[in-house]
Amino acid sequence: MKLCVLGAGSWGIALSLHLRRAGHDISLWEYDAAKAGQLAQTREDKKLLPGILLPREITVTSDMSLALSGREGVVMAVPSHGVRSTMVRAVPAWPRGAWVVCASKGLEESSHLRMSEVLKQSLKGGVPVAVISGPSHAEEVSRKMPTTVVAASEDENLSKTIQEAFHSDYFRVYTSRDLAGVELGGALKNVIAIAAGITDGLGLGDNTKAAIMTRGLHEMTRLGVALGAQASTFSGLAGMGDLIVTCTSRHSRNRLLGEKIGKGATLEQALKEMVMVAEGVKTSHAAIDLAQQCQVEVPITSEVYEVLFKDKTAKEAAHSLLSRSAKPEQSF
């Protein structure tokens, strides 16, 4: 199958390499011409994925028309805030009959739309859209460490196509029709991971992090259901699975950002020290607005937002959560 991966960050590189290993003809698009040229020549991004080499068979280019020419499917792997602007470039060159699967996780800050909704708007309908999500750090996928994800689409045939295209002996793919749930799980868990990182920075221990993850999953589910998702999806790979890895892994940029803030850094200082994008920062703003619209209580997300944008200290946020009124535990 001829596939194009849009975005040559760590995730785009890892997916390009994985799909090439699976036997597909791959083109990889990078918006920065200088970076594309360097990656095409050296076949390695020493900053993002040191030691991982792209095969010569993968075409690396900043020319969108060249990257998309003749492709049967497109994999969107740019950070969520760049999906719409990337589609502005891609739509004029979109290959006839090609489907698209979004591997970007987040909510658009201005519109609060999920990434599949941004893609559908950009393509004005008529193009099959899917998403792929789950606990899948690029650093591990690129090194063939066993990984399991979910491919979701309202079109069951497309979900199966994605499953077949991505599936391998170390990369297992399940299918789902709950497009909203899979996307919201992948987006909202990044905010909870910032909270988990803050507990690391404050040195609050494993009990605290377990509580943040458990109650965080509860509020993710509560908001997701209010937005049309299925509660059961949040107990699976795109919800609990992705939440666990993002809250605990050394590879997690959202957890790392939270840790820096917990240790006393401002958001600006923490972002300057980051090599990659922490999606939870922008998602927290969208999540708060959506929760208010749906009249859903999201205390952990609210405290993360207050710390990131309202100058609340990490210690004050922790105290606010612990001093909330006692109540029975609820589950879905």
Catalytic residue of the set 189, 209, 260, 282: 189
181, two tokens: 């749930």
Contact 161, 99 (CB under 8 A): yes
Helices (DSSP H) in 1-125: which residue ranges?
10-21, 33-42, 64-68, 83-90, 115-123
Could you give the C-alpha distances from 238 to 155, 164, 174, 294, in angstroms and in order?
18, 19, 10, 22
What is the residue whose two structure tokens read 């840790």? Answer: 259
- DSSP of 163-225: HHHH--SSEEEEEES-HHHHHHHHHHHHHHHHHHHHHHHHT--HHHHHHHHHHHHHHHHHHHH
Phi, psi of 20 (to 5 degrees): -70, -40
260 is catalytic: no
Could you give the C-alpha distances from 261 to 213, 284, 307, 312, in angstroms and in order?
18, 15, 9, 11
Helix (H, G, I), strand (E, B) or coil at 322: helix
What letter represents residue 178's amino acid?
Answer: D
What is the residue whose two structure tokens read 């890892």? Answer: 14
Which residues are the active-site residues? 189
